[in-house]
Structure 1
Amino acid sequence: MAFVVASFLGKAQETNIQKNVEKNITGGQIGLFGLDLYNETKIADKTTLRVEASLFPAIWGGDLYAKTGFAFYPSLTLQPKYYYNISKRAENGKNIKNNSANYIGLQIRYIPDWFIISNTNNLNLTNQLNIIPTYGFRRNFAGNFNYEFKAGLGYAAAFENGNTVAEAVFDLSFKIGYDF
């Protein structure tokens, strides 16, 4: 009798496996191409809205410059993400904690001329707006640690003195982070 009850309970737990994205995730990530603080909020079963504040690095130097320069500049990003394989990963018994799955997204990034942290004086930044469709994957490990890779090709517009300059922009990112 105990075997039958245990078998039934085990089956009931199997059907209640979470197969959707987490309700809310807040964390930070760091990589070669920047530092992010973010919040991902569930807006549908497989879709989240990621809001992100970032600091991006820039470095220059060589024979054309008197010294090697560096700068950090801010950006704000809004990105809906569709985790298309999260249910399949759950059904196969793979880890989906903190949205560990593959996704497609639409990254809308604003790079303002608010401030620049640099070892060079009088640097200015041109206000920019980037719209980049992305493909990526996110995996969770060791509790709340994660790594995320994404790549995309999209549109960038720079706004300066009433003029708009448009060009293609490539986004490539690999970051390691922690979810709070």
Structure 2
Amino acid sequence: MKINSLLLILFVLFINAVQAQDDTPVSVVKNQFKINPLLSPGFVYEHGFSSKNTLYSEASLILGYRHNSFYDESTFYFVPRITEQFRHYYNLEKRALKGKRTAHNSGNFIALYADYSFESISTNKLFSEYCPSFTVGPAWGIQRTYKGKFNIDLNIGAGLNVDRFDTEFTPIANFSLGWVIGK
């Protein structure tokens, strides 16, 4: 009888411990590093400062190709870029309840997007130079991290682009493929 009572108490304690783990609130990762070697190579640091909000910081390189039909010449260009986003992940709990991944900030978000594109680090006198610009605006996005820490990040929105010649409305679109580094 004592063994059955002891087993029953241990079973109840075990069930309570499992339920307590299930009731823990879903939260963004406190510190997350990513490397994006494809499309727009760069490094990302995402800092979670509350359960649903992060500051996303990216240093990347825009790779481009131009062709000048008048001179029949082509060139590649490389533009360094810094991107900052204040992200609010709004569906983490819903994803967790459906049994979907929330690890490594896998969720949908809205963001205040800002980026600065520097002057091109490659030059060719037959082409106009790439003008530095600043873009800011709201964006909506999704981020998914799969097993093996493969990461997909897409965000789109509408913004205001300012350079030394113009100020104009512009679409915001950023797509990256990479890997989460660390835990």
- The TM-score, its normalising length taken from structure 2, stands at 0.84
1:127 to 128, 132, 137: 132
SS of equivalent to 2:12: helix
1:156 to 145, 151, 161: 161
Question: Do structure 1's residue 37 and structure 2's residue 43 form an aligned pair?
Answer: yes
SS of equivalent to 1:39: strand
**Which stretches in structure 2 are left out of the alignment for 5+ residues?**
1-7
Q: Determine what percentage of the aligned residue pairs are the same residue.
A: 28
Q: Which has the higher strand share?
A: 1
Letter in 2 for 1:148: D
2:101 and 2:147 mapped to 1: Cα distance? Answer: 11
1:143 to 141, 144, 148: 148
For this pair of structures, how many residues does the alignment match?
Answer: 172
Matches within 5 A, 1:68-107: 68-107=74-113
Q: How far off is 1:98 after superposition?
A: 0.8
SS of equivalent to 1:12: helix
RMSD of aligned alpha carbons? 2.0
Measured against aligned partners, the alpha-carbon deviations of 1:38-79 in whole angstroms (never above 9, x if no partner) come to 111012221100111110022122634422221111011111
2:169 and 2:71 mapped to 1: Cα distance? Answer: 27
Larger CA Rg, structure 1 vs 2: 2
- Structure 1 residues 167 and 106, CA gap change in structure 2 (3 angstroms): same
Contact 1:31/1:174 (8 A) holds in 2: no
1:80 and 1:86 mapped to 2: Cα distance? Answer: 16
- The TM-score, its normalising length taken from structure 1, stands at 0.85
2:14 to 6, 11, 20: 6
Q: Which residue of 1 aligns with 2:171?
A: 170
Contact 1:116/1:124 (8 A) holds in 2: no
1:109 and 1:172 mapped to 2: Cα distance? Answer: 11
Q: Which has the higher helix share?
A: 2
SS of equivalent to 2:102: coil
1:56 and 1:74 mapped to 2: Cα distance? Answer: 6
2:37 and 2:171 mapped to 1: Cα distance? Answer: 19
SS of equivalent to 2:41: strand
Q: Which residue of 1 aligns with 2:5?
A: none
Question: Do structure 1's residue 24 and structure 2's residue 31 form an aligned pair?
Answer: yes
Q: How far off is 1:92 after superposition?
A: 2.6
